[in-house]
Amino acid sequence: MALKIVKGSIDRMFDKNLQDLVRGIRNHKEDEAKYISTCIDEIKQELKQDNIAVKANAVCKLTYLQMLGYDVSWAAFNIVEVMSSSKFTYKRIGYLAASQCFHESTDVIMLTTNQIRKDLSSPNQYDTGVALTGLSCFVTPDLARDLANDIMTLMSHTKPYIRKKAVLIMYKVFLKYPESLRPAFPRLKEKLEDPDPGVQSAAVNVICELARRNPKNYLSLAPLFFKLMTSSTNNWVLIKIIKLFGALTPLEPRLGKKLIEPLTNLIHSTSAMSLLYECVNTVIAVLISLSSGMPNHSASIQLCVQKLRILIEDSDQNLKYLGLLAMSKILKTHPKSVQSHKDLILQCLDDKDESIRLRALDLLYGMVSKKNLMEIVKKLMLHVDKAEGTTYRDELLTKIIDICSQSNYQYITNFEWYISILVELTRLEGTRHGHLIASQMLDVAIRVKAIRAFAVAQMATLLDNAHLLTGNTQRNGICEVLYAAAWICGEFSEHLEEPMVTLEAMLRPKVATLPGHIQAVYVQNAAKLFATVLRGHEGVPADSMVAQETSQLLIDRLPLFVQSSNLEVQERASCILQLVKYIQKLQQKDVEVAEEVTALFAGELNPVAPKAQKKVPVPEGLDLDVWINEPPSGSESEDEGRKSKGKAVFAKEESRHTKPRYTEVDEKELAKRREVRKAEQANNPFYIKASPSSQKVYQDGVGVEHIPVVQIDLSVPLKVPGMPMSDQYVKLEEERRERNKADKKKKKDKKKREKGEKGRRRRGDSGPESEEDITPAHMVDIVTEEMPENALPSDDDDKDPNDPHKALNIDLDKPLADSEKKLPVRSHRPDEVLKSPMEDRQVVEVVPEPKKKTGKEKKEKKDRKKSKEKKKKHKQEEEEDLMGAGSEEPVQPEETKEVAAPPPASTPEASDLDFWLSNAPVPSNPQAAAAPASTPRTASGMAAVAPDSEPEEAKDTEPEETKSSTHKKKKQKKEKKKKKHHHNHSDGAGDESVQNGTVEEEEPLPPMSNYALLAENSYIKMMKQDADKVCDIQGNLQDGSQVVVSVIFENKCDSFIKSMEFNVLDSLNSKLQRPDGAGPHDGLIVPFQLPPGISNEARFIFSVQNIVMPQKLKGTLTFIVKTDDSSTHEKLDFKLHFTCTSYLITTPCYSDAYSKLLESGDLKGCSLKLEGVNQPFHHLLARICFHHHFSVVERIDSCASMYSRSIQGHHMCLLVKTADQTVSIDAKCDEPGLLGNVLDEIKLTFSQC
Amino acid sequence: MIKAILIFNNHGKPRLIRFYEYFAEDVQQQIIRETFHLVSKRDDNVCNFLEGGSLIGGSDYKLIYRHYATLYFVFCVDSSESELGILDLIQVCYITLLYTYHLQVCYITLLYTYPLQVHFILQEVVMGGMVLETNMNEIVGQVELQNRMEKSEGGFSAAPARAVSAVKNINLPEMPRNINIGDINIKVPSLSPF
């Protein structure tokens, strides 16, 4: 044995170590692969030995080889062996190798669990550290689940070195094992205040990473982070926190308000550029989130822009780059403040650094206006000439085209100029973007009718000089423009002055060297030109010779194309050749043929919207879901199920598929169809091929018929011989503007009328006032980009379904249930009992969320619910992202939260956050802060003293206490005010209710609540809220929808209440959803018991068939009142009132989708007048938003458009106007019955207040 | 998050690669080639940020790199990292590297001789794609402690240990011991308490 060891170590001396390997590879440059393969053989031998040192050495070398790209997964087991060595030296190598080459599908990872666990609990901190580091790279879901508890323990390790690593790795664990997030979160939060800065930084890091993906769930940590931000001195931590705030502000505009001041201070004081930059970035984010109607933060914008200017002017290229990057973010919302720095940005175009030039280009895109477009493009053209390197030049070229064509050529006032620019661009050598220029030429020539003559002249010149463009044809992308040129000349040949010349140019032998598809266009358009020539010369005796000569020319030249190897060219050429030969025969007989030849190419080509094809409506009577042939028999029942399911999905996702079947085809629809058909007829293959760019161009259209093609007389048509110079247009344009101005003064009133018209046509996207003055030389003929009528901003979750972060969207504000305090271990999870033991008060208070019912029979339901909840959260996130301050969910933020994560237990916290965010003076004393925060009801005159605890602490350490105090208060209050229907559920009144819906106004809104008293007796009080609907998007088996009703049960007596059973008499239309197996008359057991004075919330799901009518359901609650010596059975009857409103879901809507919806004509109108409403308009809107689940689409002064959608997908639009205490509401909906009822309910709401 | 750390020389030969997300070996090599191609054609006096290549990342990712004589240090990071912060971090890594194992001139051979040791330093700076420590003293301290431990176990190979002792005997006036990544150690002004 001893001998063996000695032998092993002697062997080792002769083994290659890593350095030898490296050196060896270096010395075998010529046959590296061969050398390495011999080395791998050696390594294989070494791995077979028993000596761990030899193995470690081999693994060491393998790690190096892995870096060079060699697969070493075959040695995975040996790596595990080395990992399990007791010596730190080897262990470290083992873990390193594992972290380099293990991944989720490495099967030996299973073997490592125990080894890692042993290392994690090793007394040596470096063993633990190495294991943590390694694990962070190859953690799998299994490892995460098995080791989560061990790692959680390490988060409280005595050594900060271990603590910080354990904290950091938790992020990886969460990703792989999302269930661990909730149990681990409280501890993670503690670590934010760890004494060691490294640990603190790690915790901040992890939470920022989590919050970045699901910011909503971390909003409640804002106060804590705010504190950290003001106290921390570690710039890394600060940067992270500030970045985090940047992600949070869009969700909570009030947070932004609060941040602006400290951030501004930081900007002023810090000397660290990285910190400064992040501050500026976050301030920008705040300003963006506030941009909807905040009192101007122009000072902040100015500060940002000014600081960014300093960055951009810095000699450090990095700062310059970042400055431009941040500038582009401001540009989106505050273009004006950036535009004043145009000089600086243009200067950056001259920078030697390409990245910086590209950034500057990006900025330019947003800075153009009608006024400066020509100037900017001129500058860019100069750069194009100067630019070395084709990539940058190509980039410039695309940018020029982008800038000019953006939003439907909005900024172009003179299209002759634009054509000249395009023609100038064709002189670029070696660009790849010939097709881009070509498509622009086509687009402009087709759509701007007034420009055609000019365009044709230019194109003819291009064709004439084709040899300049076709230097080396095959590689040169620029010859693509000849495609456009030929087509334009042919199609609009009536504008050609000398068609003969052009025809001759198109038939030159050199053309045969062009790519096939271009030749084909040449041939086809030569025929068109031929027709034009014939028409021009026939009838006049002297000219008939010319016509015949032309025929002869074609007959001479076309055979060249007939021999083409390109099939398309060949076919067209031979076809046309035969035609011309025939024509020639006729000509010789003096037959007039021009008319007939022209007829071959007659008809105007209209531009067709790229989506027109898709838009073709389904003809009446055609049911796309019906089988064309009978389906193979056998599985009929199955088919049926699938069919109905499919239908449901259709109806939910895109109502447009089913709509045409139900709606009457009205005039408009018919007209539209005719239009489309016409467009299709006029179609020819060339056109479709040639307009890929139109996709980009037709951004938002106005119907053709709305825009008459105004031909403004351009007094001096430029005659430019040869290639045009765009510069001349710049001068000309200036003159023209001068003249226009003078004209305008003269015909002031006339202009006014016109302008009014134009303003209307432009659909509100007109530029700033000054730009109005610039009349365009040519109007662009726009084709409507027709969208499906009912298209809404995408409801579908466009997030990547595989995104691991999706699983981490977990509500963290909910207090932990007992069952959750420890991480669940999969195999030994005890089946929990549904009912909580009554002694444990805390548990009683824990929300009986369906999630926590782990009973097996509930599992399925649970899953469904979870997913539903998740979906809803996503949706809500989207909503909040999409909508400005004015249009959030039901107005109160607490309520918003509740919709997302319903347990009432979270409300104290929510109100903490609310309080913190509210504008109430911030008390410096935490105790003072706690008092109002945790006593939301003191506003109504209660002198209650709250437990003195800081808000954050109250959240995690003493949730019970805070809560119970809230409840106490509730009770006390009730004693005072016996019956209060609009119970203000857990939010502050008066001073702290700066509501979400009206952030811009500082006036407080009257408190609102959706909880209404349901029934009450001496024992118990029920309140219901139905604000909260789940639209069953999954389209379960029925087409039906679900409504969730939250009921708060409050124990008013001094005895214990238990065995509550909730039952509702189902109607035909609405049914209470009962667990599988329960009969239709069985009650639902309320999953909690109520100690005296306690209230809790339970949720019940109803399925509803028809949502047009409001309805009432009778129900009974039975329960047992238990006193010390006796217990009595009691019951309470109640009526559940489902209003039509409760079938509406707050859905955001873009204003353009909204207007499309209104235009579509599917909606039936109805209106309502309310007299004597003397509320501020924003209160009014907030009320409608809150009580009736609408969202504000757009608000202009005292007029607002609102939108909502029913759970069955009906659209409902409101136009609310107010004047002199009179509110008029014009409403439209595709379901008139529903609309009428909702309007009645709105009326009721306002009559009550 | 940091997605990858690549160190390669002026010829694109990898000296250290560290991916925090799984890529197969051949893809890794492709990424290195692509990154090298992107980075190597840039002048030294241009900015250190690059929009990510096609293989690694996407629009959210950036390449942040520094070029030291013959070596490129490239970090591929997403938008949650501060660009300037990462630049400073690269500096910290580099200086730690020099400081722990070698002298300023010999860095050419550095990664040849001690490929794994560089990994060990990096592990103290970045863990699983997240920045673990930015304080250079702390990093150097931990690495040295671990190396000492290795030495006490007899050493895997004597060379690194020798290097450590060599480092200790050399005084480095121009290597400030207290580099706190550039300017990132500024006292935050007192803000209004809340």
* The residue to which tokens 């951004």 are assigned: A699
Distance from CA of A391 to the nearest CA of B (A): 13
Strand partners, A1114: A1135
Can you give the C-alpha Rg of chain A in angstroms? Answer: 38
CB-based contact A272 B186, cutoff 8 Å: yes
For the residues of A1092-1104, what is the DSSP string, one character each? TT-EEEEEEEEEE
How does A1011-1047 read in b/e, with b if 16+ C-beta sit within 10 Å?
bebbbbeebbbbbbbbbbbbbbbebeeeebbbbbbbb
Interface-testing mutation among A85, A137, A233, A240, with chain B (most B C-beta atoms within 10 A) = A137
Q: Is the pLDDT of residue A1183 over 90?
A: no
Q: Tell me, what's the pLDDT at A1010?
A: 54
pLDDT-derived band at A596, boundaries 50, 70, 90 = confident
Window 212-241 of A: residues touching B by CB (8 A cutoff) are 212, 223, 226-227, 229-236, 238-239
Q: What is the mean pLDDT of chain A?
A: 71
Distance from CA of A355 to the nearest CA of B (A): 7
Q: Tell me, what's the pLDDT at A734?
A: 67
Q: Tell me, what's the pLDDT at B65?
A: 92
Q: Report helix, strand or coil for A393.
A: helix
Window 44-83 of B: residues touching A by CB (8 A cutoff) are 45-51, 80, 82-83
The tokens for B8 are 């390669």
Window 85-104 of B: residues touching A by CB (8 A cutoff) are 85, 87-88
Residues of chain B with C-beta less than 8 angstroms from the C-beta of A926: none
On the CB side of A1127, CA atoms within 13 Å amount to: 8
pTM of the model: 0.56
CB-based contact A274 B146, cutoff 8 Å: no
End-to-end CA distance of chain A, in Å?
96
The reply to whether B33 touches chain A by the CB within 8 Å rule is no
Residues of chain A with C-beta less than 8 angstroms from the C-beta of B53: none
**Nearest Cα to A850, choosing from A1034, A573, A1046?**
A1046
pLDDT in tens, A255-300: 888 888 888 888 888 888 888 888 988 888 888 777 655 556 677 7
Residues of chain A with C-beta less than 8 angstroms from the C-beta of B127: 132-133, 136, 165, 168-169
Interface-testing mutation among B33, B184, B190, B192, with chain A (most A C-beta atoms within 10 A) = B184
The tokens for A9 are 């170590």
Q: Is the pLDDT of residue A446 over 60?
A: yes
Q: Is the pLDDT of residue A95 over 90?
A: yes
- Compare CB distances from B84 to A26, A209, A273 and report the shortest one's residue: A273
Residues of chain A with C-beta less than 8 angstroms from the C-beta of B21: none
* Residue A1106 exposed, middle or buried by CB count within 10 Å (0-12, 13-18, 19+): middle
pLDDT in tens, B146-176: 888 888 887 555 444 444 444 444 444 444 4
Q: Is the pLDDT of residue A981 over 50?
A: no
pLDDT in tens, A1191-1245: 888 887 778 888 888 877 788 888 888 877 788 888 888 888 888 888 888 888 7
Window 162-191 of B: residues touching A by CB (8 A cutoff) are 181-191
Q: Is the pLDDT of residue A684 over 80?
A: no
Q: Tell me, what's the pLDDT at A506?
A: 85
Q: Is the pLDDT of residue A124 over 50?
A: yes
Q: Tell me, what's the pLDDT at A1178?
A: 80
- Compare CB distances from B194 to A103, A239, A922 and report the shortest one's residue: A922
Element (H, E) at A717: none
- Compare CB distances from B80 to A243, A265, A355 and report the shortest one's residue: A243
| Residue A387: count of CB within 10 angstroms of its CB | 19
Distance from CA of B19 to the nearest CA of A (A): 8
pLDDT mean over A939-958: 38
pLDDT mean over A1-16: 51
Q: Which residue of B has its CA nearest to A226?
A: B194
CB-based contact A18 B157, cutoff 8 Å: yes
* CA-to-CA separations, A569 to A476, A478, A488, A523, in angstroms, rounded: 20, 20, 18, 7
Q: Which residue of B has its CA nearest to A69?
A: B25
Q: Tell me, what's the pLDDT at A1237?
A: 85
CB-based contact A239 B85, cutoff 8 Å: yes
Q: Is the pLDDT of residue A577 over 80?
A: yes
Q: Which long-range contacts (CB under 8 A, 24 or more apart) does A1218-1221 make?
A: A1218/A1173, A1218/A1177, A1218/A1180, A1221/A1171, A1221/A1172, A1221/A1173, A1221/A1174
Q: Is the pLDDT of residue A715 over 80?
A: no
The reply to whether A136 touches chain B by the CB within 8 Å rule is yes
Q: Tell me, what's the pLDDT at B126?
A: 92
pLDDT-derived band at A312, boundaries 50, 70, 90 = confident
Window 920-939 of A: residues touching B by CB (8 A cutoff) are 922, 924
Lowest average pLDDT, out of A350-359, A906-915, A1145-1154, goes to: A906-915
Q: Which residues contact A109 (CB under 8 A, 6 or more apart)?
A: A102, A138, A140, A142, A143
pLDDT in tens, A126-146: 999 999 999 999 999 999 999
pLDDT mean over A518-529: 89
Lowest average pLDDT, out of A479-493, A728-742, A935-949, goes to: A935-949
Q: Tell me, what's the pLDDT at A116?
A: 92
Percent residues over pLDDT 90 in chain A:
8
pLDDT mean over A735-764: 53
Percent residues over pLDDT 70 in chain A:
64
Q: What is the ipTM of this complex?
A: 0.83
CB-based contact A168 B128, cutoff 8 Å: yes
pLDDT-derived band at A306, boundaries 50, 70, 90 = confident
pLDDT mean over A1003-1028: 57
pLDDT-derived band at A1174, boundaries 50, 70, 90 = confident
Q: Is the pLDDT of residue A330 over 50?
A: yes
CB-based contact A60 B159, cutoff 8 Å: no
pLDDT mean over A382-409: 81
Percent residues over pLDDT 70 in chain B:
69
* The residue to which tokens 């690593």 are assigned: A165
* The residue to which tokens 């661990």 are assigned: A180
DSSP 3-state helix, strand, coil percentages of chain A (rounded to 5)?
60, 10, 30
CB-based contact A67 B17, cutoff 8 Å: yes
The tokens for A302 are 């100015």
d(CA A447, CA A419): 13
d(CA B136, CA A499): 78
Residues of chain A with C-beta less than 8 angstroms from the C-beta of B189: 265-266, 269
Q: CB pairs below 8 Å between A and B: how many?
A: 207
Q: Which residue has the higher pLDDT, A676 or A402?
A: A402
**Nearest Cα to A320, choosing from A333, A310, A311, A308?**
A311
pLDDT-derived band at A997, boundaries 50, 70, 90 = very low
The tokens for A497 are 């002055």
The reply to whether A198 touches chain B by the CB within 8 Å rule is yes
Distance from CA of B60 to the nearest CA of A (A): 13
Strand partners, B51: B62
Query: Which strands form A1084-1085's sheet, in the order they lie side by side?
Result: A1084-1085, A1056-1064, A1111-1122, A1127-1138
Distance from CA of B159 to the nearest CA of A (A): 10
CB-based contact B47 A317, cutoff 8 Å: yes
For the residues of A73-120, what is the DSSP string, one character each? GGGHHHHHHHHT-SSHHHHHHHHHHHHHH--TT-TTHHHHHHHHHHHH
Q: Which residue has the higher pLDDT, A823 or A962?
A: A823
CB-based contact A87 B87, cutoff 8 Å: no
How remote is the C-alpha of A805 from its chain's centroid?
A: 16
The reply to whether A674 touches chain B by the CB within 8 Å rule is no
End-to-end CA distance of chain B, in Å?
31
Distance from CA of B150 to the nearest CA of A (A): 5
